[in-house]
Structure 1
Amino acid sequence: MMLPQAPGPNVPSLATLKDLPLPPPPTSYWPQAPGWWVLLALIVLALLVYAIRRAWRWWADRYRRAALLELDAIERDLAEPARRGAALEALPALVKRTVFTWAPRQRIAPMTGDAWLGFLDRTLPGNPFTAGPGQRLETIAYGGDALGNAEQDALLALLRRWIRDHVPA
């Protein structure tokens, strides 16, 4: 019969077990230094300023969106021979109404002919109204509707570009 032996250095025993050390508490990823809070505040402020400027620009350009929608409707009417005359007469009126949204009516309303086309040229780079397809606006405004398809397409492209890109003079 074997007698129980006393635990030696090589014999495992519950008496030789030690407690495992606990892991350190988890580190927070939340910024602790005040510089990070300042940086966060600056980023939030920059995003807020950007959002406000974008909203203001969107609001200020609503007349451009409305004018482009009306130009699309005029372009559809130009494709129908029965509505062509009325659609051509609407083009100069559309341009004048678009200008009235940002220019003083007293200064713009009496302008006709070369003065009107020169004013439009000052709102867009180049001379597309006095020396390009835009000079047809004056003819159309006074009842001339003899526009060929190429002239019509060039005028519509110019007006679309003008509505999108003009800079108030």
Structure 2
Amino acid sequence: MSKLFESDWGNESLREIVEVEFPEPVPLVPSTPGWWILLLGLVGLMARSLWRRRQRYLRDRYRRDALEQLATIKQHLAAGKQEAVRELAPLLRATAVAAGGRDLVSGLEGDDYAAALAGLSPGKDYLSVSAIGDLQLLAYAPLDEVRGMDTQRLEILMTAMENWIQNHKGDYA
């Protein structure tokens, strides 16, 4: 068998070069306890954050349900079903009870009810006393009077309700 290259073939200066050995690869697993403690702390913070986010999601379920119900009422009104206005006042009352508790809201009427709603949304007065009066009118007045209500006034009232439902602070805040 013959050699492919003779011993005198190639560059003479390269014959005596020693190849460099590469170091061992760096392990991806931390080797000191401080890194393990830091990793456990980060995992703990992430778990706590996820837990709090889940609790907030579960706690605000009533808010999502109320907004969905309000959207359904708006659809019924757009379809010409005027009796759907009867559901606005009970919807707001149920949402306020869920947000502030039964003791705070359930027995209140008129100015006291409006003040309790304003207390649940500090700094913002979404629902005035006149809006609460309009809700009472819509809930209990004969439908002939309700049909005579200005549609723009009704839209303003429902927008105010939607804003209050979205932005109020419950007793958990």
Range into which the TM-score falls when normalised by the shorter chain: 0.7 to 0.9
State the AA in 1 paired with 2:91: L
State the AA in 2 paired with 1:61: D
User: Residues 12-27 of structure 1 correspond to what in structure 2 (within 5 A)?
Assistant: 20=19, 22-27=21-26
Structure 2 alignment gaps of length 5 or more: 1-6
Q: How many residues end up aligned between the 2 structures?
A: 156
Structure 1 position 92 matched with structure 2 position 89? yes
Retained in 2: the 8 A contact 1:78–1:88?
Answer: yes
Shift of 1:154: 1.2
Structure 1 position 127 matched with structure 2 position 125? yes
State the AA in 1 paired with 2:98: T
Structure 1 position 168 matched with structure 2 position 170? yes
Return the alpha-carbon distance in structure 2 between the equivalents of residues 107 and 27 of structure 1. Answer: 62
Retained in 2: the 8 A contact 1:117–1:135?
Answer: no
Sequence identity percentage = 25
Shift of 1:22: 4.2
Larger Rg: 1
Retained in 2: the 8 A contact 1:133–1:151?
Answer: no
RMSD (CA atoms): 2.8
Shift of 1:44: 0.7
Who is 1:57 aligned against?
56
User: SS state of the match for residue 101, structure 1?
Assistant: helix
Q: TM-score, normalised by structure 1?
A: 0.77
Retained in 1: the 8 A contact 2:104–2:116?
Answer: no
Who is 2:98 aligned against?
101
Return the alpha-carbon distance in structure 2 between the equivalents of residues 18 and 89 of structure 1. Answer: 94
Who is 2:3 aligned against?
none
Structure 1 alignment gaps of length 5 or more: 1-6
Query: Which structure carries more helix by proportion?
Result: 2
Return the alpha-carbon distance in structure 1 between the equivalents of residues 120 and 134 of structure 2. Answer: 17
Q: TM-score, normalised by structure 2?
A: 0.75
Shift of 1:118: 1.9
Return the alpha-carbon distance in structure 1 between the equivalents of residues 26 and 124 of structure 2. Answer: 63
Q: 1:138 aligns with which of 124, 136, 139?
A: 136
